[in-house]
Amino acid sequence: MKVRDALLDELAQHTIDDKPYWFRLDRRDFLKLFGGGLLVCLADVSTWAQESGRNFGGHELPKDIASWLHIAADGRVTVFTGKVEVGQNIRTSLAQQVAEELRVPFDTITMVMGDTDLVPWDAGTFGSRTTPTMGPQLRTMAAAARDMLIETAAARWKVDPATLTAADAKVTNPRNGHSLTYGELTRGEKLMKTVSGEVALTPASDWKVAGTAVPKVNGRDFVTGKHKYPSDIVRPGMMFGKVLRPAGFNATLVSVDTSGAEKISGAKVVQDGNFIAVAAADASTAESALSALRATWNVPAQPSNKELFALLKQPPATQQEDRGPEHVSGSVPQAMASALIQLHQQYTVQYIAHAPLEPRAAVAEWVSGKLTVWTGTQRPFGVRDELMAAFHIPVEQVRVIQPDMGSGYGGKHTGEAAVEAARLAKATGKPVKVVWTREEEFTWAYFRPAGLIEISSGAQHDGTLVAWEHHNYNSGPAAITTPYNVANQLIQFHPANSPLRQGSYRSLAATANHFARESHMDEVAHAVGMDPLEFRMKNLSDPRLRAVFQTAAEKFGWGGSKSTSQRGFGIAGGTDKGGYVATCVEVEINPDKKIKIRRVVQAWESGAIVNPDGLRNQVGGAIVQAIGGALFESIQFANGRILNPHFAQYRVPRFSDTPQIEIVLIDRKDLPSAGAGESGIVGLAPAVGNAIFAATGTRLRNMPMAPPSAASGETVSMFRS
């Protein structure tokens, strides 16, 4: 699938409607923000915008400017981008790329991110798009700025610009040793350059700052507690808000008695349709007022985990446009008929929760009709649109600021807390903070989609795959196409009516589709009597995927020991969003069927590495997060209620679940850098399932594979973890 289609699919999976507005910043206004110095803007961005923006739903692309960069007279560099820092380390890695092209010390750069009054419009931080799109945009501007400064120096010295060099924030004439700092070159004047077209970028093989393990920007503020997350923001006179949640999903309000809450001194009750909330000067009073509200809700009967997969298989009640197959080639029925080995299997994944450790939080403040909201979101401009729609205000009257937040993993695309805090702030006339409880976050956010996947395959006895049919119901089309060589294919995603609110999640459906595909590949390998790695390589020609498989297998010592009933070895891999991954695992199964992942070796390649330490951290984190979905994470629901909305009931990976992890990074300096925050999650689950099969002969086709005994999923696994 083309990258853009995949992005549109990802956006289409969001649970909020797109509100198409585009505010054209007046450049003269913008220049007023700065003192003297050089402002560089990137224009002619149609190529970029197709990837980083969206051109549907009437949304105009940011034709004027996609990003900008300012060099002050004192040499300080400020970079403005709509991308946000949520723990994936782009505040550092983007600054490295600017430092590289501009030839300035890394610590002279400040990144302004995710403030809708200061940065250019951006669709949001998701889909592993920051590195492949924002990275080159910022590099282009920085390289153009450097060229302009060299030209300025050349004009002043009356020499050929080609004879000058730029390094360490200075332009130097090597022939006479004369040099001028960038600040001196701007002379404090207000200079502006608009960059369009191609600018030569420094190849990765020549990188000196990019490509190195620069530590996280402001790391000290994170170990000392000084960093202010969205939930830490305090405004003068701020009140604390709590929202009354319905008794279940799709509930309607029958009646509410607010008199008890209104009697509580200092509490303000706000009712606006189904929105019932309280605000008070402190959180305890707000909590008491919330408890004093008496509401009756009508909650309709709704499905539970038991009916989930039958439900997802049903065609949607609302007629959706038939999107057709993702990929068709040859004839699967004919190839299946002639195949000597035929397999038909079904795989499932449950709903899981992102559970970012910082729940949704917002502080909202109205000043002279203008709303400012500090909130944790991956889509500040999306939240701005939500606020404009909710309060019927023009874009000039809303500002969303996104302080680097306590992560999201795809779970914070929406602005619920922002809207709630803004409504309460409007009613009270004071700034209001709303921080969701863990239970609210587990219940009223949205989930990674559950999914049902059916795969049919045909192979010859020599291990040649001849037919591959893959149907994904509800979970999504990400990485649905097979990277293996199969002449006859039918691959299709089938949208469904989800009983729960669902949305983006780290790697989207790539985890589910890889779990199904790589488990099934293992099944075919066993059916034809081949080693699982050998079978994959026989059907694989993509050199990048072959390279990660070979690298992981070599580091792991694949084939060195045979699986026993207590110890299994498994392998899986794949590619998505420009990243290539292969995962080998060693799993221990004790006599009472308890599973422990002992060792993971993961090879990763995503082009030229921008920051090897940050990349290793992301890939390692993805492996650990993958353990939850693979073995035990599962949202339990019935009749419009979440049955396990606490960490005591919804288990997430902890220290004791963490295996020995070895990560091998392949640095392809000859290839563009791809995003790496997501796809490292896809290999673990199938590798674990394959290892369990190798040890026990039992094939697990449902994620989670070893849920707590209380789980009420359709298929009960005999394994625990």
Question: How big, in percent rounded to 5, are the helix, strand and coil portions of the chain?
Answer: 30, 25, 45
Q: How far is the CB of 679 from other proteins (least distance, A)?
A: 15
Shortest Cβ 365–other proteins spacing (Å)? 17
- Nearest residue to 492 via CA among 476, 509, 514: 476
Contacts of 557 (CB under 8 A, 6+ apart): none
Burial level of 35, CB count in 10 A (0-12/13-18/19+)?
exposed
Nearest to other proteins of 403, 532 (CB atom): 403
Please give the Cα distance from 239 to 284 (Å, whole number). Answer: 11
Shortest reach from residue 682's CB to other proteins, in Å? 15
Residue bearing tokens 């500002």: 399
What span, in angstroms and rounded, lies between the C-alpha atoms of 112 and 92?
12
Shortest distance, CB of residue 621 to other proteins, whole angstroms? 4
Give the whole-angstrom CA distance, residue 153 versus residue 181: 10
For other proteins, the closer CB: 124 or 483 = 124
- Least distance CB 355 / other proteins (angstroms): 6
Residues contributing to the site for other proteins (CB under 8 A)? 86-89, 215-216, 219-220, 222-229, 231-232, 234, 240, 282-284, 355-359, 404-407, 409, 435, 437-438, 613-614, 617-618, 620-625, 646-648, 652-656, 658, 661
Report the residue number, 78 or 618, with the smaller CB distance to other proteins.
618
User: CA 581 to CA 645: how far, in whole Å?
Assistant: 32
CB of residue 184 vs other proteins: minimum separation in angstroms? 33
CA dihedral 602, 603, 605, 611 (to 10 degrees): 70
Alpha carbon distance 335, 468 (integer Å): 9
Nearer to other proteins, 305 or 618 (CB): 618
Side chain identity at residue 458, one-letter code:
G
Judged by CB, which is closer to other proteins: 89, or 488?
89
Identity of the residue, 359 or 499, whose beta carbon is nearer to other proteins in the bound complex: 359
Residue 180 or residue 642: which is nearer to other proteins going by CB?
Answer: 642
- Closer of 176 and 224 to other proteins (Cβ): 224
> CA geometry: angle at 378 spanning 374 and 384, to 5°?
55
Compare residues 53 and 621 and give the one whose CB is closer to other proteins. 621
Rounded CA separation 545/583 (Å): 12
Nearest residue to 668 via CA among 553, 547, 577: 547
Question: Which residue, 265 or 319, has its beta carbon nearer to other proteins?
Answer: 265
Element (H, E) at 516: helix 510-528
Evaluate the CA torsion angle 582, 588, 594, 597 in order and state its sign.
Answer: negative
> What order of strands is seen across the sheet that includes strand 77-81?
109-113, 77-81, 68-72, 37-42, 190-195
Mind giving me the DSSP string for 51-100?
HHS---TTPPP--S-S-EEEEETTS-EEEEES---SSS-HHHHHHHHHHH
> Hey, what are 198's tokens?
């191609």
CA distance 81 to 331: 47
Shortest gap between Cβ of 556 and other proteins (angstroms)? 17
Q: How far is the CB of 280 from other proteins (least distance, A)?
A: 11
Cβ 253 to other proteins, closest distance in Å?
26
Give the nearest distance from C-beta 284 to other proteins in angstroms. 5
Q: Quick check: bond before 704 cis, omega within 30? A: yes
* Minimum CB distance to other proteins, residue 352 (Å): 12
Count of C-beta atoms within a 10 Å radius of residue 174 = 10
CA dihedral of 341, 344, 350, 351, whole degrees rounded to 10: 100
Nearest distance from residue 647's CB to other proteins, in Å? Answer: 4
Nearer Cβ to other proteins (197/655) = 655
360 versus 538: smaller Cβ distance to other proteins: 360
**Residue 233 or 548: which CB sits closer to other proteins?**
233
* Residue 653: CB minimum distance to other proteins, A: 6
Nearer to other proteins, 365 or 454 (CB): 365
The CA distance from 521 to 528, in Å, is 11
Tokens matching residue 608? 């030229």
CB of 376 to other proteins, least distance (A): 10
